[in-house]
Chain A
Amino acid sequence: MKYRQAYYEEPLVFEKASNDRENVDLDGLVPLSMRRDRLDIPNLPEHEVVRHYTRLSQMNFGIDTGFYPLGSCTMKFNPKFAEELAALPTVARVHPDQDESTIQGALRLMHELQKSLAVVAGMDAVTLQPAAGAQGEFTGLLLAQAYNHDKGEHRHEIIVPDTAHGTNFASAGMAGFDIVEVPSRDGRVELTALKAAVSERTLAFMLTNPNTLGIFEEHVLEIADIVHDEGGLLYYDGANLNAIMGRTSPGKMNFDIAHFNLHKTFTTPHGGGGPGAGPVGVKQPLEPFLPVPVVTFDGSMYHLDYHRPKSIGMVRAWYGNFALLVRAYAYILRQGRDGLRAVSERAVLNANYVRHRLKGVLDVPFSGLRKHEFVAGASGLTAKGVRTVDLAKRLMDFGVHPPTVYFPHLVEEALMIEPTETETKETLDAFADTMAAIVKEAPEVLHSAPHNTAVARVDEVRAARDPILSWRYATSQKKL
């Protein structure tokens, strides 16, 4: 598809003509010693502000703009009705410290969402508190630790496969655990290596299934036995849950703890980087340790239960990213049992179809089926001096957001492609045709791409060498 992104030489808000400053009367309200002399935030006509951000938005690419096959990120259509529901005053203007009698709708919605998520994941109890997937991981590990301490043990190792998302390592590191990495063979966890790694020090093994190569770990029950036999727990990274709804579940695969990315599987918008929501489900033995408060129902009223002596406490303020919980709840109601299963079917079909179309265009390592995503490699092009980054930048010229690149590390020059279920065959064919065309292009065209975006290739090295993170710093150092 022909594509040309808008470009405006749009100044910063600080560079626009500002109206005069006005004084406010603070006499008798704030001691002089505590008042600031000036605040350098410009005073602009409101329509200029709206125009400023409208122009900036036109220099941005979202799912509503075009195809966004960003692997492991599940960039699917965000239904508009969910946006309207989340903006209702009965969501937006309800304070979380209100008396329980005045928040029965919110508590009921949370209680029902917990139950639905527990069904999808095959878990016994769910907390909605974590703000994002990584925070869900961190919460899950704190739960594992609390459970372990409660048994009088002090295990401190977390095992992670080499295909894992970077957050798995970082969450374990942040919780203070030692990390043991296990290698893969044929794109799957190597069982002998896992057996060698598991010991009485193992607190948990973190796994996503299907993994980041889009391959289903068919030995998952053996993996579970290996970990459980040594007294460890099995943690499910839910980033790839979109592949398996109604076909299997973390619970069915004997996982003990699982997080959900509501901004992936349950299609709350990614917001240009957030907010998300990362609920965590657990099997019964871990339930006493869930964060407080827990939403309970006594048959007539919903309550927030803080009296849970074994709870890990809280991982963020209040009860979770509620406005996103509303969207996910509405999405689950809309899809229902058959709709969710159909979501996974179509997501898997689309991924396998694109993979099929790209055979012979790029390297497509590892045989067999994929689930919701797959990883291709561009190492065949390095001989002519073309790298994955060049393909990624060139895809933009055709109105396609590039796939995730250079991850996972097992595949050289990796492109991780997740089409999602909300794309048509026409879009997928157009993407495959575009990829087939650009791999044949002259290296100069690829190296100088993108050509049709707001700006040309951005100098990221310069940004890191001399980090300028604010107007205040830039102007004080005369860097603008």
Chain B
Amino acid sequence: MLRALGLRSVDELFADIPENVRLHGLDLPRGLSEQEVVSRVTALLSANRTMADMPTFLGAGLYDHFVPASVRAITSRAEFYTAYTPYQPELSQGILQSLWEYQSLICELTGMDAANTSMYDASTALGEAARMAHRIHGGKIFLVPRALRWHRRTVLGNYTWGGGLLIKEVEYDRETGMLDLADLKKHLTEDVCGIYVENPNFFGRLEEQVQEIREATDSLLVVGVNPIAQSILRPPGDFGADIVIGEGQALGSPVNFGGPLLGIFACRQEHIHRMPGRVIGLTKDVKGNRAFCMTLQTREQHIRREKAMSNICTNESLMAVAAAAYMAVLGSNGLRKVAADCLRKAKELAAAINQVPGFKAPLFRGPHFNEFTLHYQGGYDVVHKALLANGIHGGMQHARHLKELGDFALFAVTERHSNQDIDRLLATLRSVR
């Protein structure tokens, strides 16, 4: 090949790189065989403890649901996972139809008309939703609950800073953990472009006031959902939500130490031209067969450049395929059963913990989904370390996100927690006090 090019050495291929910027090699170790790499990486990772060998009650946005083997079998089809973005629809009908079905399944859960094929995660979906609310409404203020996971708040800040948006926080009710409606009303002005509310909220508490919040304002209503909970809860579309976002990881993806995730993003039909991200549309081929293709691309970076709705290009499509496959494998019956299991287990666990002297759960009264707040009278660190020493990982400390909740932890359960896991937790809590 070099000869065909009239060159004598590979070095000549790099003759256009000036001498003063040339490198003569990389300061890295020599390459290894596949077998060596596999044993080395496996050994290195074995220093991690997993949710499989340590009953773990963490959630706070990421949940360890059981994923049927069929889901991974489907996303392991190399025709899907080694493909690029389907810019050439004739060669890519498979992933296009899968993603259109994903959009459709998300719309069934949320009661929206349209969904995109993904944002990076729920926190960037929130940032994009605030920007979209501003584009549609024009107002400069976006309201969020103060009871919000800190990373959602900081990502939102970074996503909206350039657009000149001001983020204001609305208090939570200290009795119920729901949004403080009186405080919300104080914040409502003409300059509020949107309001974000989560159901279930950061505390795992169901937000029962979505209807009242909708009625209180003409600003855009953005609702954050847990897609599993959504299988039994009234869809935000019923309450007149404009945009629905959420973390879609629970739909068929493992927690993966925090990534990749799946940002759910859905909206009403009237807003689709201001929506960020890729969308798949239904159409026909020239022979009249049903076909799918990427559409509304004039909103996107490769066409609209600095006027694009978002800079997103590579997204989380394969996780969207996993989500579609998961929903198709479980069906409405399976999804609702998982949701009911989570509800029941969380309620029973909170009640059982509340019987243990030195602990109070749940902190907030009223219905919760799969999470609740627990108070450690013995101090967070003492209890957390005692649990770890017994091979159990307790919930996340609230103090990182809400300073006033120093010795409080957020506990999550899924259908995967066995009775033995829960008995072990209770026994250890009894021994700690």
Contacts and interface: CB of A to CB of B under 8 A. Distances in A.
Interface in A299-353: 312-324, 326, 329-330, 332-341, 345, 348-350, 352-353
B44 to A, nearest CB: 5
Interface residues of A, number: 189
A269 B105 CA distance: 25
A70 B82 CA distance: 13
A39 B108 contact: yes
Given A174-B311, A318-B151, A458-B291, A369 B272 contact: no
Contacts of A122: 23
Contact of B113 (A79, A340, A472): A472
Interface in B55-71: 56, 58, 60-62, 64, 68, 70
A52 B328 contact: yes
Contact of A326 (B41, B50, B51, B86): B41
Given A41-B331, A479-B282, A62 B315 contact: no
Contacts of A106: 45, 48, 257
Interface in A171-225: 171-177, 179, 215-216, 218, 220-221
Contacts of B70: 46, 49-50
Interface residues of B, number: 186
B17, B238, B257, B336: residue with the most chain A Cβ atoms closer than 10 Å: B257
Contact of A322 (B60, B93, B206, B257): B257
B215 interface: no
B166 interface: no
Given A49-B328, A245-B26, A349-B13, A317 B61 contact: yes
Interface in A416-437: 425
B373 interface: no
A104 B44 CA distance: 9
A84 interface: yes
Interface in A425-480: 425, 450, 453-460, 462-464, 467-474, 476, 479-480
A335 B33 CA distance: 9
Contact of B94 (A50, A59, A134, A338): A59
Most chain B CB inside 10 Å of its own CB: which residue of A60, A317, A425, A463: A317
A5 B285 CA distance: 15
Contacts of A320: 258-259
Interface string A146-182: 0000000000000000000011011111111101000
B232 A35 contact: yes
A93 B164 CA distance: 39
A95 interface: yes
A467 B281 contact: yes
Contact of B314 (A25, A134, A220): A134
A470 to B, nearest CB: 4
B76 interface: yes
A58 B79 contact: yes
A314 B340 contact: no
Contact of B90 (A10, A274, A348, A455): A455
Interface string B76-114: 111111111110111111110111110111111100111
A135 B108 contact: no
Nearest to B211: A33
Given A248-B22, A323-B256, A459-B285, A31 B208 contact: yes
Contacts of B123: 314, 316-317
Contacts of A368: 16
B355 interface: no
B194 to A, nearest CB: 17
A172 B23 CA distance: 31
B383 interface: no
Nearest to A312: B158
A178 to B, nearest CB: 9
Interface stretch (B138-146, B185-193, B317-325, B419-427): B317-325
Interface in B293-322: 293-298, 300-308, 310-319, 321
A252 B23 contact: yes
A29 B340 contact: yes
A62 B301 contact: no
Given A26-B343, A91-B257, A56 B108 contact: no
Given A83-B76, A272-B317, A460-B295, A166 B303 contact: yes
Contacts of A105: 44-48
Interface in A1-35: 5, 9-10, 12-14, 18-19, 21-22, 24-26, 28-31, 33-35
Given A102-B54, A479-B282, A93 B254 contact: yes
A137 interface: yes
B80 A458 contact: no
A111 to B, nearest CB: 11
A224 to B, nearest CB: 10
A235 interface: no
A369 B238 CA distance: 60
Contact of B302 (A29, A312, A330, A407): A407
A68 B91 CA distance: 12
Contacts of A457: 90, 285-286
A95 B47 contact: no
B318 to A, nearest CB: 3
Contacts of A385: none
Nearest to B24: A246
B42 A49 contact: no
A50 B75 CA distance: 11
A249 B22 CA distance: 8
A97 interface: yes
A384 interface: no
A381 interface: no
B81 to A, nearest CB: 5
Q: Of residues A35, A55, A79, A89, which shows the largest number of chain B Cβ atoms within 10 Å of its Cβ?
A: A89
A299 to B, nearest CB: 16
B269 interface: yes
Contacts of A326: 41, 45
A264 B15 CA distance: 24
Contact of B306 (A170, A269, A273): A170
Given A338-B31, A349-B13, A314 B158 contact: yes
A9 to B, nearest CB: 8
Contacts of B162: 173-177
Contacts of A269: 81-82, 318
B285 A56 contact: no
Which are the 7 A-B pairs with shortest beta-carbon distances? A176-B162, A318-B258, A336-B31, A173-B306, A60-B94, A96-B258, A271-B318
Given A170-B304, A470-B115, 9 more contacts: A61-B83, A78-B82, A95-B62, A95-B393, A97-B60, A98-B49, A135-B311, A454-B91, A476-B113
6 contacts: A54-B74, A54-B77, A56-B93, A94-B50, A170-B305, A315-B158
